[in-house]
Amino acid sequence: MDLGLKDKIALVTGGSRGIGRSIAEGLAREGAKVCFTYTSNEAAAQETVAAIEAAGGKASAKKFDVGDAAAAKAAVDELVKEEGALHILVNNAGVSIDGLLMRYKDEDLARIFQTNVFGAFYLARAAARPMMKSRWGRIVMLGSVVGETGNVGQTAYASTKSALDGMTKSLARELASRNITANVVAPGYIGTDMTSSISDEMKTAMLAAIPAGEMGRPEDIADTVAFLCSERARYVTGQVVNVNGGMYM
């Protein structure tokens, strides 16, 4: 099924590993020219570029902190200058700093909101202008099942993911008249480096809560994102799409 992404310019934040890398690879397979961001792991970034190019796709990487408003705007401006447009933004970059409310540090709260919420806002703001100029755009935020359900020890993280829901619905209303959609993809329990550190006891409990009986794969998220970025999803906007095997309905 052709998703109509050939020659579209896409920016994926946090695309050097895990779900972000899978999203970047998926968009490239559909014909988009993908630029992804990273903050520190140069080797992983270059490995992702090489993998996409080896598969016949087009990719590049930019190193900057999404939580830096000036850096985010400069990166988008530079990409538009290089490619002539920006059609797709996937805000995937995020951090998870867990801890019980009574023990949570102010500096951790500031950091998690700076990256997960402010970073998404900065990039959406920067990307909206070239998308409006093209009169075509797709913005996808990566939420989380805990943004829908809450979770012990994740008050701050869940708050940031819930914030993306409200941000995205507002963007959808603001930008729909310019043929720009905005949606959230909320993953459940997905097998990545981040979830590999979870204890066996917690893994067993989480799997018991999933009707599908298994954890998801990064490709499950990437396929959903690719569809939402396509012309076939032109009438889907302001939605939170849960990809979690039935863990939350």
Catalytically active residues are: 157
How far is the C-alpha of 170 from the C-alpha of 174, rounded, in Å?
A: 6
∠ CA 120-161-220 to the nearest 5 degrees?
90
Beta-carbon contacts of residue 150 (< 8 Å; ≥ 6 apart): 158
How far is the C-alpha of 163 from the C-alpha of 16, rounded, in Å?
A: 24
Count of Cβ atoms closer than 10 Å to residue 156 Cβ: 21
Nearest partner of 220 among 18, 36, 28, judged by Cα: 18
How far is the C-alpha of 11 from the C-alpha of 53, rounded, in Å?
A: 16
Nearest partner of 35 among 9, 6, 73, 3, judged by Cα: 9
Q: Where are the beta strands (DSSP E) in the chain?
A: 9-12, 33-38, 58-63, 88-91, 137-142, 180-187, 240-243
How far is the C-alpha of 169 from the C-alpha of 175, rounded, in Å?
A: 10
Sign of CA dihedral 35, 36, 42, 47: negative
How far is the C-alpha of 153 from the C-alpha of 20, rounded, in Å?
A: 24
